[in-house]
C-alpha cells in the first residue's frame, strides 16, 4: 500500500485555530474536507522546512513553527497517511487562500462542528482535551 508522509500546522491566533477547507478532488474521502494546512515532505527537507515551504505556498505566511504536537497514522482506502502536526503561533489573521477553498478560525470547543478529513480527528480531539 502506498505511504504518504505529510506535515501540518495548527495555526493559533489568540484562542482560535485556523481550519482550512481542501478543494474538490476525485478522492471523495478528502474532497472538500477541513484540514490543517501543510503537505508532503519533499526529498532532502526536514519536517519544519517542508512545513515552512507549504505555509508560504498555501497561505503566503511565514510563522514561527513551534513544538511538534502529535503524529497520526491513518489508513485511507488508497494510501497510508502519516501526518506530523506542529503548533504555530501566528500574530495576524491576514492569510491568502492560494489553494484552499475556504477557511475559518474557531475556538477549540467549536472544532468538531466541521467535516474534518478522517486523519485529523485525533488531532482535533486532542486539541479539545488540551483546552
Residue numbers of the site for ligand 8DG (CB under 6 A)? Answer: 4, 6, 8, 30, 35-36, 38-40, 81, 83, 117, 119-120
In the beta sheet, which residues pair with residue 127? none
The residue among 79 and 93 lying less far from ligand 8DG, judged by its C-beta, is: 79
**What is the closest distance, in whole angstroms, from the C-beta atom of residue 54 to ligand 8DG in the complex?**
6
Least separation in angstroms between residue 109's CB and ligand 8DG is 19
Reading the block at residue 69, the C-alpha cell is 504536537
Residue nearest to ligand 8DG (CB): 39
The least distance separating ligand 8DG from the CB of residue 100, rounded to whole angstroms, comes to: 10
Answer whether 23's CB lies under 8 Å from 114's CB: no
Indicate the residue among 36 and 69 with the shorter CB distance to ligand 8DG: 36
CB of 33 within 8 A of CB of 114? no
CA distance 13 to 19: 12
The Cα 105–Cα 100 span in angstroms is 14
Amino acid at each position: 500500500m502506498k505511504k504518504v508522509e505529510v506535515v501540518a500546522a495548527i495555526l493559533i491566533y489568540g484562542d482560535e485555530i485556523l481550519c482550512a477547507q481542501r478543494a474538490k478532488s476525485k478522492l471523495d474521502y478528502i474532497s472538500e474536507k477541513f484540514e490543517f494546512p501543510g503537505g508532503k515532505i519533499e526529498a532532502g527537507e526536514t519536517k519544519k522546512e517542508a512545513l515552512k515551504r507549504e505555509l508560504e505556498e498555501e497561505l503566503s505566511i511565514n510563522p514561527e513553527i513551534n513544538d511538534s504536537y502529535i503524529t497520526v497514522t491513518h489508513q485511507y482506502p488508497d494510501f497510508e497517511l502519516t501526518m506530523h502536526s506542529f503548533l504555530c503561533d501566528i500574530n495576524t489573521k491576514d492569510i491568502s487562500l492560494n489553494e484552499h477553498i475556504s477557511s475559518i478560525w474557531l475556538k477549540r470547543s467549536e472544532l468538531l462542528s466541521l467535516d474534518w478529513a478522517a486523519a485529523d480527528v485525533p488531532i482535533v480531539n486532542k486539541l479539545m482535551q488540551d483546552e
